[in-house]
Amino acid sequence: MAAAGCATARPQGDPELGAQLKAMATRQAELERKIERLEAGLLAQRAVAAPGKMAISAASPHETAPLVPQHLATVRLSPQVRRATAVPTVVDLREPDSATVDQLFSDAGEPDSTSQDAAANETYQAALAAITTGDVENGAAALQGFAARFPKDGRAATALYQAGLGLLHFGDPQSAAIVFERLGDDFPLAKETPEGMVRLADCHVRLKRTERAKDAYARVVNRYPGTTAARTAEAGLKNLATQQATQ
């Protein structure tokens, strides 16, 4: 009797717990439907982005597409380069004949005489202006440079004579003697040379080079007999002889 009473007193079920279970089941079903809708949307997006992979994605939505091995990847080749046509680079070298060489030199010609004359005149006038205005040292150097640069100019011998004369009057007989020696060697037939050789002897006299002075006077007498310079040289020789006799 007591056992039977206890059995009849046990509740048949908890209504509140059943309601909770039912609500949980309903919520689970809604979540599953949402997941299915999300998966369907993802499949649709993949199909639009890559139509060729739609069938594979639909069949196995949770599987990833296999990667392509690097050695099997597609390589895009550059277009073929067209090479330029080969140009012959071997040149047959030949020594020109004498006629060709002569023609080349004749075509080159001489410098323009007009421009050369203008340059010579400008150089000479500048050097002469320097020595006449008192700049004897630079003027004499410029006159010597003119004679060296334009030896065929008719004023070359005159330039050397003026340079030597300026140095002699400037008090530099040693430098003047060098210039007069050059005048006699380079321009022996110039009209200034006989007088220049007399001046050379005078330089040696000032430098107390008696024998060299006598030699210079003698050259004037022998080379230019009958000239005024020769008579001056003869007088110079007599003076030297008198000086030696009185010593």
Residues 65, 234: Cα–Cα separation, whole Å: 128
For residue range 17-60, list pLDDT tens digits in order.
778 778 887 888 888 888 888 888 777 777 666 555 544 444 45
- Using pLDDT thresholds of 50, 70 and 90, give the confidence band for residue 116: confident
Q: What mean pLDDT is predicted for residues 225-236?
A: 96
User: What pLDDT sits at residue 20?
Assistant: 78
Residue 182 neighbours by CB distance under 10 Å: 18
For position 76, what pLDDT does the model report? Answer: 61
Task: Give the mean pLDDT of 207-234.
Answer: 96
Return the higher-pLDDT residue of 201 and 30: 201
- Residue 136, C-beta contacts closer than 8 angstroms, at least 6 positions apart: 166, 167, 169, 170
What mean pLDDT comes out for the span 160-173? Answer: 95
From 23-27, 90-94, 118-122, 204-208, the region with the lowest mean pLDDT: 90-94
Mean pLDDT to the nearest integer, 73-80: 60
Size of the chain, expressed as the number of residues it contains: 247
Q: Residue 187 above 70 pLDDT?
A: yes
pLDDT of residue 77: 60
The pTM of the full predicted model, rounded to 2 decimals, is 0.54
| 124 vs 111: which has the higher pLDDT | 124
- What DSSP designation does 134 have? T
> How confident is residue 2, by pLDDT bands cut at 50, 70 and 90?
very low
What b/e string do you get for 66-93 counting C-beta neighbours within 10 Å, with b at 16 or more?
eeeeeeeeeeeeeeeeeeeeeeeeeeee
| pLDDT at residue 3 is higher than 80 | no
Cα-flanking dihedrals φ and ψ of residue 176, to 5°? -65, -40
Find out whether 198 and 214 touch, Cβ atoms under 8 Å. Answer: no
Q: What is the pLDDT of residue 42?
A: 76
Q: What's the pLDDT score for residue 207?
A: 96
